[in-house]
Chain A
Amino acid sequence: MNGAHDLGGMHGFGPVELERDEPVFHHEWERRAFAITLAAGFLGKWNIDMTRYAREQMPPAEYLATTYYEHWLFGLEKLLDDTRLVSRAELQAVLKGGARQAPVPAAGVRVLAARDVEAALRKSREAKADDDVPPRFNVGDLVRTVNINPVGHTRLPRYARDKRGAVALDHGVWVFPDTNGTGRGRKPQHCYSVRFEACELWGAGAGSRDAIYIDLWDDHLVPA
C-alpha cells in the first residue's frame, strides 16, 4: 500500500538525529510493547509479513506523528483483534476500568514459555523456502520493475517502481511477502538483489557513481 511507511525519497524530515550512548529502550512501556509483540508472534496466528502490513495500515498522519514502538502497538492491537485473541472492545473495557469479564483462556494456541525463549529467539524464522522453483532471471540480467500500486502489502518501494536495474545477486527461493502478508499464500519464488543506478531512480542530478541495491522477487520484475 502507498502508506506513510514507504519513506524512501521523501523530503522535509530534517537531519538524522544521533543520540550518544543511546539505551536499547527509552521507557519501560517500550520494553513491554517489544516483548508482548514478540511473544504474541510465537502464538503462530500470523506471520512477519502480516505484522509489517498491520503496522503499515496506521493512518499516515498518525504514523508520522508517533514513535516506532507506537507503530508496533498499533500493529499488535490490530492483529490480536483480527485473530479474535483480544478484541478492541476488551481492550477498551480494561482501559475504561470497567468490570472485566473473567478471561477465557484461548484454545489451540502454543504459548512461548520462559524456558523456551532463548531457543526460540535463536531460531530463524522460516521465510527462506526449500521449494524447487527455477529463477526467472540470472545475475547480470537487465530488468525493469513492475508499476504496481496495490492497496495490500508489497516490498517494492514506491521510489523503485517502473525502474531499470540489473540483477546483482540471486538470494535463492523465499516466501513472497506481497501475498504472504495478506493471507494469499507463500508463493515461493526467487529473491534477488537488484542494482539501480542512482540517476535511474532520482534523475540526472543524482550521484553518477552511486547505486541503490533493493531485494526484490520474481513477481516484481520483467525483462528490460
Chain B
Amino acid sequence: MSQEHEPHHHHDHDHDHDHDDDDVQEHREHGAPLTEVELRVRALESLLVDKGLVDPAALDAIIDTYETKVGPRNGAKIVAHAWVDPDYRRRLLEDGTAAVAEYGFVGRQSEKILVVENTPKVHNMVVCTLCSCYPWAVLGLPPVWYKSAPYRSRAVIDPRGVLSEMGVEVPADTEVRVWDSTAEIRYLVLPERPAGTENMTEDELAALVTRDSMIGVAKVRA
C-alpha cells in the first residue's frame, strides 16, 4: 500500500490541474490501484506462470514493445511524409493499411487502418464509445482520457464542446465528423499542416505532430 501511495501523493501535489480536491476522482482517472488489485494481478500472474500458460520473459517483451518501441512517433512519421509527398498522401487516403505498412507499422489493433483528412471544411475526430479501440501500430496504447467515461460519453453527443475544452475551436461552417470505432477498422486522423512550415524538413515536421492531433482533438502548431 505505502509503496503505491507515496508516489501517487507526490504526483498529486505536482499536478498542475487545480481540481485535485476530489481524491477519489483523481484515483479513478489516474489509475491508482487498490491494494487488492495489485494482489490479484500478482496472484493471477503467478498461477499462469506456474501452470505453464504464460512465459514470464514473453510478458516482459510485450511490455517493452508498447513502452519503448510502438508509439505515436510512428504515426507522426506517416503524417509528416504525407505532408511532403503528395503521392504518398494519396496512397495513404486511398488505402491506409497498405501505406502505413510501407513503414513496417503493422499488427495488433491495426488490422485495417483508415486515414481521414482534416481540412478547413471537415474536422475528423476518433472515439470508441464501447471500449477503447485505437490504432496501436501507429499510436501505441491509448491515453487514459481516451478510455475514460467523459470522453467516450461526450465525443458523440457533444463533439464541439469536447473539442473546445481540448483547445480546438471548430468554425461553425466546418463539418465535424466523429468516427466511433465499433469494428476492427482503426482510424488515424491526418491533421492539417500548419502555416509557416514550408521550409521545414520531414523530420522537423514529424516532431511537430502530436498524438492528440492524430486522434483529431488537437491542431498541429508550428
A: residues with CB less than 8 A from B are: 5-11, 13-20, 22, 24-36, 38-40, 43, 48, 52, 55, 64-70, 73, 76-77, 80, 85-86, 90-91, 94-95, 103-106, 109, 111-114, 116-118, 121-125, 127-128, 155-157, 159, 169, 171, 174, 177, 191, 193, 201-202, 206-207, 209-217
In the complex the two chains form, what is the Cα distance from A202 to B46 in whole Å? Answer: 48
Q: Which of B34-42, B76-84, B193-201 contacts A (4 or more CB under 8 A)?
A: B34-42
List chain A residues, Cβ under 8 A from B25: 14
List chain A residues, Cβ under 8 A from B155: 8
Partner of B108, one of A28, A121, A201: A121
List chain B residues, Cβ under 8 A from A171: 112, 183, 185
Q: Is the CB of B54 within 8 A of A32?
A: no
Question: How many chain B residues touch the partner (CB < 8 A)?
Answer: 86
In the complex the two chains form, what is the Cα distance from A8 to B156 in whole Å? Answer: 6
Indicate whether A19 sits within 8 Å of B175 (C-beta atoms), given known contacts A24-B140, A91-B43, A121-B107: no
Proximity bits, B4-32, A CB within 8 Å = 1, else 0:
10000000000011000000010011111
Most buried by A among B132, B155, B166, B185: B185
B: residues with CB less than 8 A from A are: 4, 16-17, 25, 28-33, 37-48, 50-55, 57-63, 65-67, 71, 106-108, 110-112, 114, 127, 129-132, 140-141, 143-145, 147-157, 159-160, 162, 165-166, 172-185
Q: Is the CB of A174 within 8 A of B150?
A: no
Partner of A213, one of B37, B108, B180: B180
14 further A-B contacts with Cβ under 8 Å, apart from A7-B153, A64-B149, A209-B172, are A8-B153, A8-B157, A14-B25, A27-B31, A27-B38, A29-B33, A31-B67, A32-B45, A35-B60, A95-B40, A112-B54, A116-B58, A121-B65, A171-B185
Partner of B62, one of A5, A38, A65, A66: A38
Q: How many pairs of residues, A versus B, come closer than 8 Å at their CB atoms?
A: 278
In the complex the two chains form, what is the Cα distance from A73 to B43 in whole Å? Answer: 12
